[in-house]
Structures are given as structure tokens and as C-alpha cells.
Amino acid sequence: MRKTRRTTMEELIAANKKELMEDPKAISEIEEKLENRKAREVYMESLENKKIVN
């Protein structure tokens, strides 16, 4: 009986990176999410600096 080989975390990460690099639409979606997240952070910081946040 053959023992099954488990995939390591490094192998999973490498496979995901390869798959993402071949999919420009996925890269665009990720970039958009990161930009939106950063914009929210900057906006919240500006509100905190103006003491508008409750």
C-alpha cells in the first residue's frame, strides 16, 4: 500500500502564486481591494486627526 504525500505550505503558496501570475484579472481584483483598503485607512486617519470620530 502506497503512502500518500502531503503537500507542504510552501508548495501550496508556490502553486497559488503561479496560478495568480497567470491570471491578470485576479491580479487586478487584488490590486483594487488593496487600494480600497488603503484609501479607507487614510480617510479614517484624517477623520481621527480632525477629532470627528466619536
Q: List, for residues 1-54, the tens digit of each pLDDT value.
A: 677 788 899 999 999 999 999 999 999 999 999 999 999 999 888 888 886 545
Cβ pair 26, 20 in contact under 8 A: yes
Give the global pTM. Answer: 0.59
Cβ pair 20, 27 in contact under 8 A: yes
**What's the confidence (pLDDT) of residue 44?**
87
- Per DSSP, the residues of 10-45 read HHHHHHHHHHHHT-HHHHHHHHHHHHHHHHHHHHHH
**What's the confidence (pLDDT) of residue 54?**
53
